[in-house]
Amino acid sequence: MKKTMFGIALAACGVFAMTSVGTAFAETSFPRNLRIVIGSKSTGGDTYQNTAIVAEALAEKLGINVKVDAVGGSTGFNTIKRVSNGSVIMMFHDQAYLGYLYGKKGYDNPFTEYRIGPSVAINPGNAYLVAKKSPYQNVEELMAACAAGTDVRVAIQPGGVSEIGYSALKNAIRIQHPGKEGCLVAVNRGSQSDKNQAMFDGLADLINGSVQANEQYTRLPADDQKAMRFVWLTARDATIKQANPEGMGETSREMLLAYTDPAVSVTQDGSKNFTFDKEFFFLFNKDMDQKLVDELDQALTEIFAAGDIQKTQKKSFFIPNFRPSAEAEAYFKDKAAQYEVILGNLK
């Protein structure tokens, strides 16, 4: 009966109250209603999921209402460009600067146009897969095929996170087999569904996917048209090692490590391997009050020190990754500079 009453109360609490979390009062310079816009339009994706976890913790810590709005990259950037009083901040991931590096419309240089805020988590699932029946067993064979002059088609979403692994692979072929990088051919697709379909249709030899979205496909029998195999996870092995031992679905952490550096080698510059962690961080209006930035850093420092948020993040296959604003800015500048070199090499 209690549960029923709870359900009725939930249903009755009204549409607007539904979207906000946390209402207790506390001392804060943030407005009572904080809006976090995200760079994705999906409320079913990792950006929303990660932001929802952080928003809930922040609401409780700061005693304010925090609302997450899935407005997408362009609208999100325009919004934080306009609002400097701290009532709207943005959560996004490496796409924020990769979009700029790839010259995608609607993306400015985030290091000059906005202010980089604290980082909070990594999605370690960025993956590359082949069909289970594919003749290619691993990344080495895919690169060898290119070296032999065979075209290898890769389904990606162009202009960002989905493309960076493809660019790195092309760069590695350029270093190891100069002149053959043209054999790695991008097949531009949109959603994960489109990339999968490219494989089902036999139009792609390799697709960009994720551990979360594609793990079940890797467990299908080989004679199933939909069956796939992981060949590469771009995450650092140190990142995967922080995941829960059970990994995702039936694929344990140990099994995942077989697809990461150093087990899989994609050279970045001939001396070290390329890795890519998809990391989530805040972006602010560049004129936002330093006091607010410090307050957010402090709140997150305390939230992560308490240790509860890490459990929630790991349960959802995120790797906790808190860095205060100043540290995060320096880190992402360096990361972007490294990828800029790779993309520059391919021009």
Partner 1 sequence: MEFLSNLDALYFVLILAGTLIGIIFGAIPGMTATMAVAVCLPLTYALDLNHGLALLLGLYVGGISGGLVPAILLNIPGTPSSITTTFDGYPMTQKGEGERALKVAIVSSLFGGLLSAAVLFSFAPLLADFAIKFSYVEKFLIILLALTVIASLSKNLLMGLLSALIGIWLALIGTYSVEVGGNGDMRLMMPFMEEFLYDGFSLLPVLIGLFGVAHILEEAEKGIHETHTDMKDALKNSLPFSFSVFRNQKTNLVRSGFLGTFIGMLPGVGGSAASVLAYTQEKNFSRHPEKMGKGAPEGVVASEAANNGLTGGALIPLLSLGIPGDSTTAVLIGAFTLQGVQVGPLFIGENVDTWNTMMVGLLAANIAMFVVMFFAIKHIAKVVMVPKHILYPIIMMMCVVGAYAINYGVMFDVWTLLLFGIGGYLASKIGIEVAPLVIGFILGGQAEVYFVKSLESFGTLTIFFTKSPIAVVLWLLIAISVGFSIYQASKAGRAKRDTDA
Binding site for partner 1 (CB under 8 A): 1, 3-4, 6-8, 10-12, 15, 18-19, 21, 37, 42-46, 48-49, 52, 56, 68-72, 74-75, 78, 104-106, 157-160, 187-194, 196-198, 200-201, 203, 212-217, 219-220, 224-226, 248-249, 315-317
H helices present in 124-217, as ranges = 139-147, 161-176, 192-200, 211-214
Q: To the nearest whole angstrom, how small is the minimum distance from the Cβ of residue 22 to partner 1? A: 11
The total of other beta-carbon atoms located within 10 Å of residue 39's CB is 25
The least CB distance from residue 67 to partner 1, in Å, is: 9
Q: Which sign, positive or negative, has the C-alpha torsion 115, 118, 120, 121?
A: positive
The least CB distance from residue 224 to partner 1, in Å, is 8
Q: How many residues does the chain have?
A: 347
Q: By C-beta, is 32 or 226 nearer to partner 1?
A: 226
C-alpha distances in Å from residue 159, one per residue of 38, 48, 49, 104, 167: 18, 20, 22, 6, 10
Helix axes 308-315 and 290-306, enclosed angle (nearest 10): 80
**In the complex, least distance from residue 15 CB atom to partner 1, rounded to whole angstroms:** 6
Q: Which residues contact 90 (CB under 8 A, 6 or more apart)?
A: 36, 37, 38, 39, 76, 77, 79, 80, 114, 282, 283, 284
Contact 81, 113 (CB under 8 A): yes
Q: Decide whether 161 or 328 has the Cβ nearer to partner 1.
A: 161
| 212 vs 275 by CB, closer to partner 1 | 212
Please, which residue, 63 or 158, has the CB nearer to partner 1?
158
Q: In the complex, what is the shortest distance from the CB of residue 203 to partner 1, in angstroms, rounded to a whole number?
A: 5
Q: Which is nearer to partner 1, 87 or 338 (CB)?
A: 87
